[in-house]
Chains A and B, each alone.
Chain A
Amino acid sequence: MDQIIVQILNGLDKGSAYALIALGLTIIFGTLGVVNFAHGALFMMGAFCAVITSKILSASHKIVDETRTDFLGNPLEVDTFYVQEWFGMAAGQTIMEWAVPIAILFAVPVMILVGFAMERGLIKHFYKRPHADQILVTFGLALVIGEIIKYTFGANPIQTPAPPAFTGSLDFGVFLGFEAQTIMYPYWRLVYFFFSAMIIAGVFAFLQFTTFGMVVRAGMADRETVGLLGIDIDKRFTFMFGLAAAVAGLAGVMYAPIVAPNYSMGLDFLVLSFVVVVVGGMGSLPGAVAAGFLLGILESFASMPVVIDVLPGINQIIIYLVAIVILLTRPRGLMGRKGVMEE
């Protein structure tokens, strides 16, 4: 029993990442009808926003400390962080340690701008082209973004630690009446899960309860009619692209402490999140979220030693296997709508 709970918990954080990326993908697909293979790259850019923020916050310069000397008797040069100079030692230290959460503030506007630029500059010209062309051009874009990141930040993963308040693990089993130390769950993963749940809820609430969201949903259902009613639906869809980019970016920012960002993480996540979208059903937002969590949890179950003993290697292929089975038995995915991508 405790093993099962551990696996569910382990699946949650990966599932949250899948769900967030798949959510963004589905928003873009549902509104603009574009298959965005560069979405993994947006996720990666989010993660690198965290890297950049933590680099900026820990920018330092050397000052000469007259009171201390090094072993040769010269005045000692000390690395001083700007934030510590400005906000005092303790506060500066805290700011540096909380770089990842602070990066959210930085990432949201950046990612929205990136999303706007992408939609206006590139994707706009591909609405009328076949889906294959959309896949290809965004795939090319993903390669280019990955290479730019590689050139700027190098090929090695960059560690971005979570704030010290969230290091360590929560003894989750105690709450459920298990013995201590049986179910341990890192705090940051818990934070990640709640954070994604909040974002998912926020996106759904935005679409469901605001006028803007209502218009967007109407546009998703019948773009032409909404346009005929005198609403500039294109502008709103562009905004939705920015929102989707921001969602992917936030998923990336908060994921940085879990997996150290490197230039290939975008493509790694892209493949899986596409499988997630297809399993959930193209164009269905709840489907994307449900499939994200489902596949994340399935993946962690499949990597239990008990399962691997029976079916070796299953943890590597479970997601693809599920995708194949679902696509063949339920052609529209778990919650796909009728008439989406069925030409």
Chain B
Amino acid sequence: MFGLTKKDSTLMLVVFGLVMLAPFLLNPFPEGSGMAQFNAGYPDLMQRFVIFGIFAVGFNLLFGLTGYLSFGHAAFLGIGSYAAIWSMKLVTLNVIPGILVAIVVAGAFALVVGFVSLRRSGIYFSILTLAFAQMMFAMAYSVLTPITGGETGLQIKNTDTPLFGGPVDGSIGRANLFGYEMGNSMELAVGNHLFTFNLGYYIAGFFLLLAFYLSIRIFRSPFGMMLRAVKSNQQRMNYTGLTPKRYTLSAFVISGMYAGLAGGLMVAMDTQVGPERMFWTASGEVVIMTILGGAGTLMGPVLGAGMIKYMENIISKINKDILHEWFAFLPDGLEDVIVSLVYPFIGKGWHLTMGILFMLVVIFLPGGLVEGGQRIAKLFRRNKTADTQDATSRTPAE
């Protein structure tokens, strides 16, 4: 299907299913029940899952395949966001041109940054990308205030008059797709469950599917093989008469464009930008997502992004009272002990859990959650084969 092997088609179909059915899958608990706070099926969060999924998939194309660890990828996301919001302020409130502009501008910046940074490898590359990103952040924060809005960032205001299709009554324009607003939602109530289908989410989901498909194609293409060759032995590649830089630069630009797409989508969903989006901790976050899920795997980055955003938005909301409620069945003294033991790791302390999880993955599971899943699967399979072997070996003895 679409030039994919059978296995990849299955994977693609699984992702398609997940994206399409996310409003159901992420809302497993009925409204008003004690578990309802674990529901992640509201549009805002689902959009974030998808957008950061795109960001991480793009980062993975660079880090997972070539092994070049960029510590400044959030800069491209920020640039994409700024480009998209200007397109909406000046040209049209339709999101499609905005997203395209975001991709192109981020790609152009990635070309420049990549051209310079890729002259070095290893830690030097990491520091160079970090330096570029921090420079862009500092400039967006201070000097470029006329363009970036400085600390307050940019929003769409009622004074903005886009060339095509701005609001005429002086209200604040909203991002739309040919007149359909991003915020449009359809709600479906089934029993106690409430499912929300949001237009913005499905547009972002469409782009995720596109991005994921492209990423599969790149992984399986000769170009993808070249990128892997860069990771395993650059010198040998040189001797073979190939120029690694052409491939790494292409990978860098592609992954910058993915970041731009993510940035553009962020603006499409929520029409505002601030420079903190470009700060280096944001770059660190995408690194964590990718590694946590599994660098160099197809599904890993999407899973990692989903996990981090779920923790950031759901786990972080659990406070002490809720914990006490959960452990209320325990005797009083024990309850307090358990709550005080668990509390540092959840609620506001979710960063701690994330950090520990990240370290554990780096130490024990270099392939991330995907490798973890594969290992577990293999364990079961081996048990099965071991059982049959045992059976066969036992028979002659009897």
Binding site for B on A (CB under 8 A): 35, 122, 125, 130-133, 135-137, 139-141, 143-144, 146-148, 150-151, 267, 271, 274-275, 278, 282, 312-313, 316-317, 320-321, 323-324, 327-328, 331, 341, 343
Contact = CB atoms under 8 A, between A and B. Distances in A.
A142 to B, nearest CB: 8
B128 A327 contact: yes
Interface string B58-89: 00000000010100000000000000000000
A327 B284 contact: no
B344 interface: yes
Contacts of A137: 359, 362-363
B127 interface: yes
A143 B128 contact: no
Chain A contact residues: helix, strand, loop or mixed: helix
Contacts of A130: 67
B138 A147 contact: no
Interface string B335-374: 0000000001000010110111011001100100000000
A146 B141 CA distance: 25
A136 B362 contact: yes
Contacts of B141: 316
A9 to B, nearest CB: 24
A316 B349 CA distance: 31
Given A136-B291, A271-B280, A327 B124 contact: yes
Name the interface size band of chain B: 35 or more
A136 B122 CA distance: 13
Contact of A317 (B124, B138, B349, B363): B138
Contacts of A282: 123
Nearest to B127: A278
8 interchain residue pairs of minimum CB distance:
A313-B143, A316-B138, A143-B355, A140-B359, A147-B352, A320-B131, A144-B355, A140-B358
A327 B120 contact: yes
Given A131-B123, A316-B141, 20 more contacts: A125-B363, A130-B67, A132-B69, A136-B291, A137-B359, A137-B362, A137-B363, A147-B352, A148-B352, A150-B351, A278-B123, A313-B139, A316-B143, A321-B131, A321-B135, A323-B128, A327-B124, A327-B127, A328-B116, A341-B123
B388 interface: no
Contact of A275 (B122, B131, B352, B354): B131
A305 to B, nearest CB: 14
Nearest to A319: B131
A133 B126 contact: no
Contacts of A150: 351
Contacts of B344: 151
A271 B358 contact: no
Nearest to B356: A144
B390 to A, nearest CB: 35
B123 A147 contact: no
A316 B355 contact: no
B208 interface: no
A274 B126 CA distance: 10
A301 B134 CA distance: 19
B378 interface: no
Contacts of A278: 123-124, 127
A278 B351 CA distance: 29
A109 B132 CA distance: 38
A304 to B, nearest CB: 16
B287 interface: yes
Contacts of B281: 267
B139 A324 contact: no
A327 B118 CA distance: 11
Contacts of A133: 362, 366
B132 A320 contact: yes
A303 B181 CA distance: 46
B139 A317 contact: yes
A288 B340 CA distance: 44
Nearest to A277: B127
A80 B138 CA distance: 48
A147 B69 contact: no
B130 interface: yes
A271 B130 contact: yes
A135 B69 CA distance: 9
A47 to B, nearest CB: 20
Interface in B117-162: 119-120, 122-124, 126-128, 130-132, 134-135, 138-139, 141-144
Given A125-B363, A151-B344, A323-B127, A316 B142 contact: yes
Contact of A324 (B116, B138, B143, B354): B116
Nearest to B119: A328
Nearest to B366: A133
Contact of B351 (A139, A147, A323): A147
Contacts of A316: 135, 138-139, 141-143
Nearest to A129: B366
A299 B187 CA distance: 55
A147 B349 contact: yes
A144 B119 CA distance: 33
A144 B362 CA distance: 14
Nearest to B141: A316
Interface in B184-242: none
Given A147-B351, A278-B127, A324-B131, A141 B138 contact: no
A146 B356 CA distance: 12
